[in-house]
Chains A and B, each alone.
Chain A
Amino acid sequence: MLVTMGGVRLSYGRWPALDNVDMEIRRGEFLVISGPSGAGKTTLLRLVWMGEKPDSGLVEVIGFRSDRIRKRELPRLRRKIGIVFQDFRLLHARTVFDNVALPLQVSGTGSRVVQKRVISLLARMGLSHRRNSFPYELSGGEQQRVAIARAMVGHPVILLADEPTGNLDPEVSREVIELLLEINRGGTTVVMATHDPRQVPAGKGRFLFLDKGVLRGADRWSELDQDS
C-alpha cells in the first residue's frame, strides 16, 4: 500500500473539507477521485503530498506518517511524488527545459544527468522542438504536457493530477488522459481528481466518489451517474 488514510478529518474554519475519510492507494493502480466542485478532492490530494496535515486521523504515504514527519523530511517525500495541476503552474520566466529540469536541480542532480534525462523525456513527450520556448508561447495542451514532464522527470512513485484537463478542450483532454494512462501502464501509480469521471474509460481505473468531504466507493462511473 502506497498511501493509507484512517479517520481523516480536516476543516478550514467551521466546515469540514474532509470528514472521517478512510482510503488507500494501491501500488500501480489508476485511481480516479471524482465529485462536484468543493467536494474536497484538492484537499485530499494535498494530504497525500503533505501540503496539509489532518486535524485528526492519520495519513501514511510511502512510509512517511503525517503525525511524525519533520519539516526537513518533506522534500524527500515530495521528490517521490509528481504533481500536476489544472492551472499547470509553470514558471513563466523560464524555458520549457528549465521548468522540466527544476525537480532535478533542486535535489542536486549533476548537470550532465539533468541534461540527458530532460532531453530524452521531452523527446518522448513530443516536446523536443519546444525545449527553448517559454510557457506563454505554448498551447494549453503543450503546457500541461510540460507540467506532466516536470512531474515525471524525477521518476516518482505516485503521480497526482488535480483536474488536469480542467483548462483544456475535449480533444486535448483526451490526449492528456491517454498520456496519464500510458504513464500508469509504465508502472507509476496515478491518482486523478476530476469533477467529470466520464473522461476516464470505465474499467481503466478504480473510482472513488467524494461528496461534501465524505468519501464513497464506487466501482464504475455508471453507478456514479445514477447517484448524482
Chain B
Amino acid sequence: MSLIQSATREITLNLHSRPGARLITLLMVALAFVVFNTFLIISWNLQSIMDREENLVGMEVFLRRDISPGAGRVIGDLISSLQGVKSVYYVSPEEAEALFRAELPGRTDLLDVMGNDFRLPASLQITFDTEAMNQGRMSELSRAIGAIEGVEEAVYGENYLPGLIKTVTTIRRLVILLGIVLVSSISLVVFYTVRLSVVRRSLTVDIMRIVGAPWWFIRIPFVVEGIFMGVTGSAGGLILAAIVSKVLSSAVTHRFMPLHWMTLVILLGAVTGTIGALAGSYEKER
C-alpha cells in the first residue's frame, strides 16, 4: 500500500514539473484529433442520412395481379431469406392506393380517371443491410428476385443509392486509415516527449535505480504522463471540434457525434498515449 502511495506521489511530482514543456505536445495531439473528429462527424452525418432514407436503400418488388395476398406473403418470406435482405414488407393494393393518395395528393385524379375497376399492384418493400450492399450485389439481388415466380418487376434506385453507400464506405475507410495514421503519429509525438522527459529527469531516474526502486515504479510517472497527454489531447480535440461544429452549424446543418463515439475518441487518445509512453520510457537492463 505504501509503495503505491509513494508511486502516486512520484506521478504527481512528475505531472507538476514543467507543465509548459507538454503544451506543444498537447496542442499537436489536439489538432490531430480535430482532423480525425471532422471525418468522424462527416461519417456520422452521412450514416444518419442513410438511416433516415433507408427505405430508398431498398427495392420495390411488384407482384403479378393474379397473386393472392397469401401467395404474396410466401414470396416475401422467400425474399427475406436471401442474404443481405434486412426487412420485407407486404403492401396490399388497398394500402398502395392509400399511400399514393397520401403522398401525391395533387395527382389523385390519375387514379380516379382509371375508373373503379383499376387497382394498383401489390408490392413488397424490401430494405437491405446497408453495410453489405454495393452496386454489384444490388443488381445481383434484383436479378434473383425478378426471376421468382409471381414477381412482375423489381425496381431499385440504381443511380442515387449505391452512390451514397459508396460515399459512406469510402468515408468509413478514410476514418479507419486516418485512425491508423493518428495512432502512429500521436504515439510518436508522445514517444519523443516522454523520451525527453526521461532524459530531462535522468538524475532522478539514476537515483531511483541506485536506491533500488522497482522498474515499474521508476517508469510509471512517465507512462501516466503519456496517458495524460493522450487523454487531455483527445479531449481538447473534441472541444475544438465541438466549437468548430457550433460555428458552422448555421451554414451546414449537421449533428455532432454521439456520446459513445466521443468516449471512443478519448479511449483512442488514452491508448495512443500509453503506447507512446511505454515505448518512450523503455530502458534496457541497467
Contacts and interface: CB of A to CB of B under 8 A. Distances in A.
A157 B3 CA distance: 23
A83 B208 contact: no
B98 interface: no
Interface in B183-235: 203-204, 206-215, 217
A110 B203 CA distance: 25
B140 to A, nearest CB: 59
Given A71-B285, A91-B204, A102-B207, A79 B2 contact: no
Nearest to A101: B6
Interface residues of A, number: 26
B286 interface: yes
B212 A72 contact: no
Contacts of A108: 1-3, 6
B215 A75 contact: yes
B207 A91 contact: yes
Contacts of A102: 207-208, 211
A83 B207 CA distance: 10
A185 B241 CA distance: 69
Given A78-B209, A89-B206, A89-B207, A106 B215 contact: no
Nearest to A85: B210
A119 B209 CA distance: 24
Contact of A106 (B13, B17, B206, B212): B212
Q: Which of B2, B207, B209, B210 has the most CB of A within 10 A?
A: B210
Contacts of A111: 2, 5
Contact of B212 (A71, A91, A93, A107): A107
Contact of A150 (B3, B13, B211): B211
Contacts of B215: 71-72, 74-75
Interface string B1-30: 111011001000100010000000000000
A150 B211 CA distance: 8
Interface in A86-143: 89, 91, 93, 102-103, 105-111
A75 B6 contact: no
Max chain B Cβ within 10 angstroms of own Cβ: one of A53, A108, A154: A108
Contacts of B209: 51, 74, 78
A106 B211 contact: yes
A102 B6 CA distance: 9
A79 B212 CA distance: 5
Interface in B114-131: none
Nearest to A69: B285
A75 B212 contact: yes
Nearest to A160: B210
A105 B213 CA distance: 9
Interface of B: 1-3, 5-6, 9, 13, 17, 203-204, 206-215, 217, 285-286
Interface of A: 49, 51, 53, 71-72, 74-79, 83, 89, 91, 93, 102-103, 105-111, 150, 154
5 contacts: A75-B213, A78-B211, A102-B211, A105-B9, A106-B208
Given A74-B215, A103-B212, 14 more contacts: A71-B215, A72-B214, A74-B209, A74-B285, A75-B214, A89-B206, A89-B207, A89-B210, A93-B13, A103-B211, A105-B2, A106-B208, A106-B212, A107-B3
Going nearest first, the 10 A-B pairs with the smallest beta carbon separation are: A108-B3, A106-B213, A78-B212, A79-B212, A103-B211, A105-B6, A75-B212, A71-B285, A75-B214, A108-B2
